[in-house]
Amino acid sequence: MAPKDIAGTYLTMLNTFSNLGAMWVSPFAFYMVDKLTLKERVVNPKYGGKDEPQFIEHITLDGFYIVSAVCGILGILGFPMLWAAVSHIQSQPKSAWAIRGPESCSLPAKLMAMKGAKTGKGK
């Protein structure tokens, strides 16, 4: 919960962190696919001059399958931990989900106190 005057900034910050947390995975996965792909240079059987390359790369092991297998195994191994966290959250009573006011959330209350201190309206 955030005070109305900083809610937009607060949500923008949360969205930024969410994007940063989600976006680093794709470049890392593509990098690992490239590094784990095994290639060998072979003579091009169609080489006949300037239009064809003399050597071509033949892929002996595609890194995509290795990265897919590792991610699948990590997902299977991580599922029990995720299940335990979700079960713990679901076991909380409904009163734990109630918003009791600014005093129930320490960060926005501290921000409001700092803002009040700057303007001379606070404690």
- Select the highest-mean-pLDDT range: 8-17, 78-87, 88-97: 78-87
- Residue 57 pairs in a beta bridge with 41
| 1 occurs within a structural domain | no
What would the pLDDT profile of 58-77 be if each residue is shown by its tens digit? 999 999 999 999 999 999 99
What would the pLDDT profile of 24-44 be if each residue is shown by its tens digit? 889 999 999 999 999 999 988
| 95 occurs within a structural domain | yes
* Structural tokens at position 24: 């680093």
Task: Give the separation between CA 46 and CA 50, rounded to whole angstroms.
Answer: 11
| 73 occurs within a structural domain | yes
Total domains, the chain: 1
For residue 122, the model assigns a pLDDT of: 47
| 2 occurs within a structural domain | no
Residue predicted with more confidence, 111 or 60: 60
| 65 occurs within a structural domain | yes
Beta-strand relationship, 38-43 and 55-61: antiparallel
- H helices of the chain, in order, are 7-23, 25-36, 63-90, 106-119
Q: Which of 11, 10, 33 is nearest to 111 (CA)?
A: 10
- Lowest mean pLDDT of 29-38, 45-54, 58-67, 99-108, name the range: 99-108
- Residue 39 pairs in a beta bridge with 59
| 80 occurs within a structural domain | yes
What is the domain range of residue 86? 7-119
